[in-house]
Amino acid sequence: MMKTPITVLQELMVKFSESPEYECVAQSGPQHLAVFEYRCAARGHVVSATARSKKEAKQEAARLMLARLAAAGLNVPAPYTAPCAPCPPVAGDGDAVAAGGGARSYKALLKELCQEYKLPGPEYTLEGDTGPAHARRFTARGAVGAHQRVASATTKKAAQQLAAQQLYQYLRENLARLTEDFVEEEALARAHERAMERYVEARADAPHRPDLAQRVADYHLEEEKVNLGADALEAASPDAEPETALQAVAGALGLRAEWHSLPAEGGSLTLVRLAPSSPPLVFCARTREAAAAEALAYLRLTMKFRDQK
Protein backbone atom coordinates (compact mmCIF):
# COMPACT_ATOMS: atom_id res chain seq x y z
CA MET A 1 0.00 0.00 0.00
CA MET A 2 1.06 3.58 -0.64
CA LYS A 3 2.16 5.40 2.49
CA THR A 4 -0.17 8.03 3.89
CA PRO A 5 0.83 11.71 3.96
CA ILE A 6 1.20 11.56 7.76
CA THR A 7 3.63 8.63 7.50
CA VAL A 8 5.65 10.24 4.72
CA LEU A 9 5.89 13.54 6.61
CA GLN A 10 6.93 11.77 9.82
CA GLU A 11 9.69 9.84 8.01
CA LEU A 12 10.88 13.04 6.33
CA MET A 13 11.07 14.95 9.62
CA VAL A 14 12.99 12.13 11.34
CA LYS A 15 15.93 13.01 9.08
CA PHE A 16 16.04 16.41 10.81
CA SER A 17 15.52 14.87 14.28
CA GLU A 18 12.19 16.68 14.46
CA SER A 19 8.49 15.78 14.52
CA PRO A 20 5.59 17.60 12.88
CA GLU A 21 3.07 19.20 15.23
CA TYR A 22 -0.67 18.70 14.72
CA GLU A 23 -3.53 20.52 16.41
CA CYS A 24 -7.30 20.42 15.91
CA VAL A 25 -8.02 24.15 16.02
CA ALA A 26 -11.71 24.34 15.12
CA GLN A 27 -14.97 22.45 14.69
CA SER A 28 -18.01 23.95 12.99
CA GLY A 29 -21.47 22.87 11.90
CA PRO A 30 -24.00 20.56 13.55
CA GLN A 31 -22.90 17.18 14.84
CA HIS A 32 -24.13 15.26 11.78
CA LEU A 33 -22.40 17.73 9.41
CA ALA A 34 -19.38 18.65 11.52
CA VAL A 35 -16.31 20.13 9.79
CA PHE A 36 -12.93 19.87 11.52
CA GLU A 37 -9.90 22.07 10.95
CA TYR A 38 -6.41 20.71 11.63
CA ARG A 39 -3.21 22.75 11.74
CA CYS A 40 0.22 21.29 10.98
CA ALA A 41 3.57 22.93 11.78
CA ALA A 42 6.98 21.73 10.56
CA ARG A 43 10.33 23.34 9.70
CA GLY A 44 8.93 26.81 10.32
CA HIS A 45 5.94 26.32 8.03
CA VAL A 46 2.28 26.24 9.12
CA VAL A 47 -0.66 24.97 7.07
CA SER A 48 -4.26 24.10 7.87
CA ALA A 49 -6.93 21.94 6.26
CA THR A 50 -10.60 21.09 6.82
CA ALA A 51 -12.55 17.86 6.35
CA ARG A 52 -15.60 16.01 7.65
CA SER A 53 -13.52 13.93 10.10
CA LYS A 54 -10.48 14.60 12.26
CA LYS A 55 -8.57 11.81 10.53
CA GLU A 56 -9.16 13.21 7.03
CA ALA A 57 -8.37 16.78 8.15
CA LYS A 58 -5.08 15.62 9.70
CA GLN A 59 -4.11 13.67 6.57
CA GLU A 60 -4.98 16.65 4.38
CA ALA A 61 -2.89 18.98 6.56
CA ALA A 62 0.06 16.58 6.26
CA ARG A 63 -0.36 16.45 2.48
CA LEU A 64 -0.40 20.25 2.25
CA MET A 65 2.72 20.42 4.43
CA LEU A 66 4.55 17.97 2.14
CA ALA A 67 3.69 20.16 -0.86
CA ARG A 68 4.87 23.26 1.05
CA LEU A 69 8.17 21.58 1.99
CA ALA A 70 8.67 20.41 -1.59
CA ALA A 71 8.21 23.99 -2.80
CA ALA A 72 10.81 25.07 -0.21
CA GLY A 73 13.37 22.73 -1.77
CA LEU A 74 13.17 19.63 0.44
CA ASN A 75 13.42 16.21 -1.18
CA VAL A 76 9.78 15.09 -0.84
CA PRO A 77 8.93 11.74 -2.47
CA ALA A 78 6.33 11.49 -5.24
CA PRO A 79 3.38 11.88 -5.52
CA TYR A 80 3.43 14.50 -2.73
CA THR A 81 5.74 16.95 -4.49
CA ALA A 82 3.09 18.82 -6.48
CA PRO A 83 1.47 21.94 -4.97
CA CYS A 84 -2.19 21.30 -4.21
CA ALA A 85 -5.14 23.13 -2.76
CA PRO A 86 -7.12 21.95 0.28
CA CYS A 87 -9.96 19.64 -0.67
CA PRO A 88 -13.51 20.49 0.38
CA PRO A 89 -15.58 18.02 2.40
CA VAL A 90 -17.30 15.38 0.32
CA ALA A 91 -21.05 15.67 -0.05
CA GLY A 92 -23.80 14.33 -2.25
CA ASP A 93 -23.31 16.89 -5.01
CA GLY A 94 -21.63 20.22 -5.66
CA ASP A 95 -24.57 22.23 -4.32
CA ALA A 96 -24.32 20.62 -0.89
CA VAL A 97 -20.76 21.86 -0.28
CA ALA A 98 -19.95 25.48 0.42
CA ALA A 99 -17.76 27.44 -1.98
CA GLY A 100 -14.19 27.27 -0.78
CA GLY A 101 -14.83 24.17 1.33
CA GLY A 102 -16.61 25.78 4.27
CA ALA A 103 -19.69 24.56 6.12
CA ARG A 104 -22.12 26.77 4.15
CA SER A 105 -23.59 26.21 0.71
CA TYR A 106 -25.43 29.36 -0.27
CA LYS A 107 -26.88 27.69 -3.35
CA ALA A 108 -28.51 25.10 -1.11
CA LEU A 109 -29.62 27.72 1.43
CA LEU A 110 -31.06 29.99 -1.27
CA LYS A 111 -32.97 27.08 -2.80
CA GLU A 112 -34.38 26.09 0.61
CA LEU A 113 -35.37 29.69 1.35
CA CYS A 114 -37.19 30.04 -1.97
CA GLN A 115 -39.05 26.77 -1.48
CA GLU A 116 -40.12 27.60 2.07
CA TYR A 117 -41.45 31.07 1.25
CA LYS A 118 -42.93 30.25 -2.19
CA LEU A 119 -40.43 32.41 -4.10
CA PRO A 120 -39.38 31.71 -7.70
CA GLY A 121 -36.61 29.13 -7.87
CA PRO A 122 -33.06 30.48 -8.23
CA GLU A 123 -31.61 30.41 -11.75
CA TYR A 124 -27.94 30.62 -12.72
CA THR A 125 -26.38 31.57 -16.04
CA LEU A 126 -22.75 31.72 -17.12
CA GLU A 127 -22.07 35.26 -18.32
CA GLY A 128 -18.57 34.59 -19.63
CA ASP A 129 -15.00 33.67 -18.79
CA THR A 130 -11.69 35.45 -19.18
CA GLY A 131 -7.98 34.77 -18.81
CA PRO A 132 -5.65 31.95 -19.88
CA ALA A 133 -6.49 28.30 -19.27
CA HIS A 134 -4.35 28.09 -16.12
CA ALA A 135 -5.86 31.26 -14.59
CA ARG A 136 -9.42 31.32 -15.91
CA ARG A 137 -12.07 33.47 -14.20
CA PHE A 138 -15.77 32.76 -14.66
CA THR A 139 -18.64 35.21 -14.25
CA ALA A 140 -22.04 33.87 -13.21
CA ARG A 141 -25.41 35.55 -12.77
CA GLY A 142 -27.88 34.38 -10.14
CA ALA A 143 -31.52 35.43 -10.23
CA VAL A 144 -34.57 35.01 -8.00
CA GLY A 145 -37.47 36.60 -9.80
CA ALA A 146 -36.50 40.20 -10.55
CA HIS A 147 -33.55 40.15 -8.12
CA GLN A 148 -30.16 39.47 -9.71
CA ARG A 149 -26.55 39.37 -8.60
CA VAL A 150 -23.35 38.84 -10.61
CA ALA A 151 -20.12 37.37 -9.22
CA SER A 152 -16.77 36.16 -10.54
CA ALA A 153 -14.44 33.37 -9.35
CA THR A 154 -11.87 30.87 -10.59
CA THR A 155 -14.49 28.13 -11.12
CA LYS A 156 -18.08 28.14 -12.38
CA LYS A 157 -19.40 26.61 -9.16
CA ALA A 158 -17.57 29.13 -6.96
CA ALA A 159 -18.97 32.03 -9.03
CA GLN A 160 -22.49 30.62 -8.67
CA GLN A 161 -21.97 30.22 -4.91
CA LEU A 162 -20.89 33.85 -4.56
CA ALA A 163 -23.90 35.08 -6.55
CA ALA A 164 -26.18 32.85 -4.43
CA GLN A 165 -24.59 34.22 -1.24
CA GLN A 166 -25.33 37.80 -2.26
CA LEU A 167 -28.94 36.96 -3.15
CA TYR A 168 -29.47 34.95 0.02
CA GLN A 169 -28.12 37.68 2.28
CA TYR A 170 -30.18 40.32 0.46
CA LEU A 171 -33.41 38.33 0.87
CA ARG A 172 -32.73 37.57 4.52
CA GLU A 173 -32.08 41.24 5.28
CA ASN A 174 -35.11 42.51 3.37
CA LEU A 175 -37.48 39.76 4.49
CA ALA A 176 -36.19 39.67 8.04
CA ARG A 177 -39.60 39.59 9.70
CA LEU A 178 -40.81 36.82 7.41
CA THR A 179 -37.67 34.70 7.53
CA GLU A 180 -36.70 35.07 11.17
CA ASP A 181 -37.81 31.47 11.79
CA PHE A 182 -35.69 30.13 8.92
CA VAL A 183 -32.99 27.91 10.52
CA GLU A 184 -29.91 27.66 8.31
CA GLU A 185 -28.50 24.47 9.86
CA GLU A 186 -31.80 22.63 9.36
CA ALA A 187 -32.03 23.86 5.77
CA LEU A 188 -28.49 22.65 5.02
CA ALA A 189 -29.26 19.29 6.63
CA ARG A 190 -32.35 18.86 4.41
CA ALA A 191 -30.34 19.81 1.31
CA HIS A 192 -27.59 17.37 2.26
CA GLU A 193 -30.04 14.52 2.79
CA ARG A 194 -31.67 15.08 -0.61
CA ALA A 195 -28.25 15.32 -2.28
CA MET A 196 -27.16 12.02 -0.71
CA GLU A 197 -30.38 10.36 -1.90
CA ARG A 198 -29.68 11.49 -5.48
CA TYR A 199 -26.07 10.36 -5.13
CA VAL A 200 -27.07 6.87 -3.98
CA GLU A 201 -29.61 6.54 -6.80
CA ALA A 202 -27.03 7.60 -9.40
CA ARG A 203 -24.50 5.12 -8.05
CA ALA A 204 -26.93 2.20 -7.84
CA ASP A 205 -26.06 0.87 -11.30
CA ALA A 206 -22.35 1.82 -11.21
CA PRO A 207 -20.19 -1.35 -10.93
CA HIS A 208 -17.04 0.60 -10.03
CA ARG A 209 -16.64 2.33 -6.66
CA PRO A 210 -13.74 4.80 -6.81
CA ASP A 211 -11.46 5.44 -3.85
CA LEU A 212 -13.29 7.95 -1.62
CA ALA A 213 -9.95 9.67 -0.97
CA GLN A 214 -10.10 10.88 -4.58
CA ARG A 215 -12.25 13.99 -4.40
CA VAL A 216 -14.00 15.32 -7.46
CA ALA A 217 -13.05 18.94 -8.25
CA ASP A 218 -13.68 21.36 -11.05
CA TYR A 219 -10.80 20.82 -13.46
CA HIS A 220 -11.64 23.85 -15.63
CA LEU A 221 -12.36 21.58 -18.59
CA GLU A 222 -14.01 23.30 -21.51
CA GLU A 223 -17.21 21.70 -22.77
CA GLU A 224 -15.55 20.87 -26.08
CA LYS A 225 -12.77 18.94 -24.31
CA VAL A 226 -15.30 17.09 -22.17
CA ASN A 227 -17.14 15.99 -25.32
CA LEU A 228 -13.87 14.92 -26.93
CA GLY A 229 -12.98 12.92 -23.82
CA ALA A 230 -16.38 11.22 -23.81
CA ASP A 231 -15.97 10.38 -27.51
CA ALA A 232 -12.51 8.94 -26.84
CA LEU A 233 -13.94 6.75 -24.07
CA GLU A 234 -16.68 5.44 -26.35
CA ALA A 235 -14.20 4.83 -29.17
CA ALA A 236 -11.83 2.85 -26.95
CA SER A 237 -11.97 -0.83 -27.92
CA PRO A 238 -12.77 -3.26 -25.08
CA ASP A 239 -9.68 -5.22 -26.18
CA ALA A 240 -7.39 -2.19 -26.24
CA GLU A 241 -4.51 -1.91 -23.77
CA PRO A 242 -5.65 0.23 -20.79
CA GLU A 243 -2.50 2.35 -20.98
CA THR A 244 -3.07 3.13 -24.68
CA ALA A 245 -6.72 3.98 -24.05
CA LEU A 246 -5.79 6.18 -21.07
CA GLN A 247 -3.29 8.15 -23.16
CA ALA A 248 -5.97 8.79 -25.80
CA VAL A 249 -8.65 9.90 -23.31
CA ALA A 250 -6.26 12.03 -21.24
CA GLY A 251 -4.98 13.70 -24.40
CA ALA A 252 -8.53 14.54 -25.47
CA LEU A 253 -9.16 16.13 -22.07
CA GLY A 254 -5.95 18.16 -22.21
CA LEU A 255 -4.39 16.10 -19.41
CA ARG A 256 -1.19 14.07 -19.36
CA ALA A 257 -0.42 10.77 -17.64
CA GLU A 258 2.68 10.84 -15.43
CA TRP A 259 4.04 7.49 -14.28
CA HIS A 260 5.95 6.80 -11.06
CA SER A 261 7.23 3.68 -9.33
CA LEU A 262 7.40 3.27 -5.55
CA PRO A 263 9.08 0.47 -3.57
CA ALA A 264 6.70 -1.68 -1.54
CA GLU A 265 6.63 -4.97 0.31
CA GLY A 266 6.80 -7.87 -2.12
CA GLY A 267 7.78 -5.73 -5.10
CA SER A 268 6.85 -2.22 -6.21
CA LEU A 269 3.79 -0.08 -6.85
CA THR A 270 2.99 1.82 -10.01
CA LEU A 271 1.34 5.23 -9.78
CA VAL A 272 -0.21 7.22 -12.60
CA ARG A 273 -1.02 10.89 -12.03
CA LEU A 274 -3.33 12.86 -14.33
CA ALA A 275 -2.09 16.43 -14.58
CA PRO A 276 -2.78 19.27 -14.39
CA SER A 277 -5.57 18.82 -11.87
CA SER A 278 -6.30 20.13 -8.41
CA PRO A 279 -6.47 18.20 -6.17
CA PRO A 280 -4.08 15.74 -7.90
CA LEU A 281 -5.68 12.60 -9.34
CA VAL A 282 -3.40 9.67 -8.50
CA PHE A 283 -4.16 5.99 -9.10
CA CYS A 284 -2.08 3.15 -7.69
CA ALA A 285 -1.75 -0.55 -8.53
CA ARG A 286 0.80 -3.31 -8.78
CA THR A 287 1.15 -2.96 -12.57
CA ARG A 288 0.92 -0.15 -15.14
CA GLU A 289 -1.99 -1.94 -16.80
CA ALA A 290 -3.97 -2.13 -13.53
CA ALA A 291 -3.20 1.52 -12.64
CA ALA A 292 -4.32 2.65 -16.11
CA ALA A 293 -7.51 0.60 -15.76
CA GLU A 294 -8.28 2.32 -12.42
CA ALA A 295 -7.76 5.76 -13.98
CA LEU A 296 -9.99 4.86 -16.95
CA ALA A 297 -12.76 3.63 -14.66
CA TYR A 298 -12.61 6.89 -12.70
CA LEU A 299 -12.76 9.04 -15.84
CA ARG A 300 -15.66 6.99 -17.20
CA LEU A 301 -17.63 7.46 -13.97
CA THR A 302 -16.79 11.19 -13.80
CA MET A 303 -17.96 11.74 -17.38
CA LYS A 304 -21.20 9.96 -16.58
CA PHE A 305 -21.92 12.21 -13.60
CA ARG A 306 -21.04 15.37 -15.55
CA ASP A 307 -23.58 14.36 -18.20
CA GLN A 308 -26.26 13.92 -15.51
CA LYS A 309 -25.78 17.44 -14.06
Which one is predicted more confidently, 194 or 260? 260
For 183-205, give one letter per residue: b (16+ CB within 10 A) or e. Answer: ebeebbbebbebbeeebeeeeee
The count of structural domains within the chain is 3
pTM of the model: 0.36
Residues 195 and 290 occupy one common structural domain: no
Question: What is the length of the chain?
Answer: 309
Confirm whether 302 is domain-assigned: yes
User: Is the pLDDT confidence value at 91 over 50?
Assistant: no
Least confident of 171-185, 240-254, 291-305: 171-185
Alpha-carbon distance of 109 to 95, in angstroms, equals: 9
Residues 246 and 286 occupy one common structural domain: yes
Confirm whether 88 is domain-assigned: no
Confirm whether 263 is domain-assigned: yes
Grouping H, G, I as helix, E, B as strand and the rest as coil, residue 249 is: helix
Residues 58 and 106 occupy one common structural domain: no
| pLDDT at residue 234, as a whole number | 67
CATH number of the domain where residue 295 is located: 3.30.160.20
User: Is the pLDDT confidence value at 124 over 70?
Assistant: yes
Confirm whether 76 is domain-assigned: no
Which one is predicted more confidently, 183 or 14? 14
User: Is the pLDDT confidence value at 50 over 80?
Assistant: yes
Question: Residue 142: which pLDDT band, with cuts at 50, 70 and 90?
Answer: very high
Confirm whether 282 is domain-assigned: yes
Least confident of 15-29, 39-53, 91-105, 187-201: 91-105
User: Is the pLDDT confidence value at 167 over 80?
Assistant: yes
In terms of average pLDDT, the best of 11-25, 96-110, 236-250 is: 11-25
For the chain, the average pLDDT equals 75
Alpha-carbon distance of 58 to 63, in angstroms, equals: 9
Confirm whether 211 is domain-assigned: no
Residues 100 and 42 occupy one common structural domain: no
User: Is the pLDDT confidence value at 253 over 50?
Assistant: yes
| pLDDT at residue 235, as a whole number | 67
What's the whole-number mean pLDDT along residues 285-306?
78
| pLDDT at residue 43, as a whole number | 87
Confirm whether 81 is domain-assigned: no
Residues 118 and 196 occupy one common structural domain: yes
Confirm whether 253 is domain-assigned: yes
DSSP state of 122: P
Q: Give the range of the structural domain holding residue 67, as residue numbers without chain letter.
A: 5-71
**Domain limit, last residue, from 155, 173, 203:** 203
Rounded to 5°, the CA angle 92-93-96 comes to 85
Residues 227 and 294 occupy one common structural domain: yes
Residues 105 and 172 occupy one common structural domain: yes
User: Is the pLDDT confidence value at 141 over 80?
Assistant: yes
Beta bridge mates, 237: none
Residues 191 and 233 occupy one common structural domain: no
Residues 198 and 98 occupy one common structural domain: yes
Find out whether 166 and 140 touch, Cβ atoms under 8 Å: no
Residues 176 and 102 occupy one common structural domain: yes
Residues 181 and 255 occupy one common structural domain: no
**Domain limit, last residue, from 22, 37, 71:** 71
| pLDDT at residue 41, as a whole number | 92
The alpha carbon of 136 is separated from its chain's Cα centroid by a whole number of angstroms, namely 17
User: Is the pLDDT confidence value at 228 over 60?
Assistant: yes
| pLDDT at residue 22, as a whole number | 92
Residues 129 and 60 occupy one common structural domain: no
Alpha-carbon distance of 254 to 17, in angstroms, equals: 42
User: Is the pLDDT confidence value at 103 over 70?
Assistant: no
Alpha-carbon distance of 69 to 108, in angstroms, equals: 37
Alpha-carbon distance of 214 to 196, in angstroms, equals: 18
Q: What is the gyration radius of the CA atoms in the chain, in angstroms? A: 21
